[in-house]
Amino acid sequence: LPEFQIGLGTIAARSGELLSPQVLMAVRQAVQRAPHYPESHNINGLVSEVRSDFQSAIASYRQAKFALDMMRNSKTDCRCHIADISVNLARSLCKVRVLSSALMTTKKNPYQAAERSCYFKCFMRNKFAFSVTLFTNVYGTVIL
């Protein structure tokens, strides 16, 4: 059942239906039933982010990273998801103006340091909206 709920959340994210109450309930149940699945926390973060609850989104993405770290210690290897979760976390941190943490989150991702430097310079010049736009243009709006 959690796999179905996670799948529903993934489909909703790709179709732009994350604001649906049914999706919200399914994703929240998936988090409760499968807290060890990084995907459930990642989708929950996307749902929170769409609802402009960035603090909850940040917490969900951090839980997803923790769950992914726990999976790394097992036989399952899911390295491909860490970049997606990190970019989602960085985007939410950027939206709540914690750009320094956002930059550190993406530090291990395969993006150039010059891009991160550009975001930081824009942010320091009080051009927050522009830096978020730059971040979104490079890293994408929704990473699953």
Q: What is the pLDDT of residue 140?
A: 52
| Spatial separation of the C-alpha atoms in residues 2 and 73, rounded to whole Å | 22
Q: Which residues have CB under 8 Å from 86's CB, separation 6+? A: 65, 105, 106, 108, 109
pLDDT, mean over the chain: 75
Q: What is the pLDDT of residue 114?
A: 42
Going from the first residue of the chain to its last (144 residues), give the mean pLDDT of each consecutive group of 10, the final group possibly shorter: 88 90 93 93 94 93 89 60 76 73 57 46 50 54 43
| Spatial separation of the C-alpha atoms in residues 10 and 114, rounded to whole Å | 32
Kindly list the domain boundaries of the chain, sorted by start residue.
Answer: 2-139
Q: What is the pLDDT of residue 129?
A: 54
Q: Which CATH number fits domain 2-139: 3.40.190.10, 3.30.160.270, 1.25.40.10, 3.30.750.24?
A: 1.25.40.10
In tens, the pLDDT along 63-95 reads: 998 988 887 766 555 555 666 787 888 788 777
Determine the 3-state secondary structure of 73 from DSSP. coil
| Spatial separation of the C-alpha atoms in residues 103 and 116, rounded to whole Å | 6
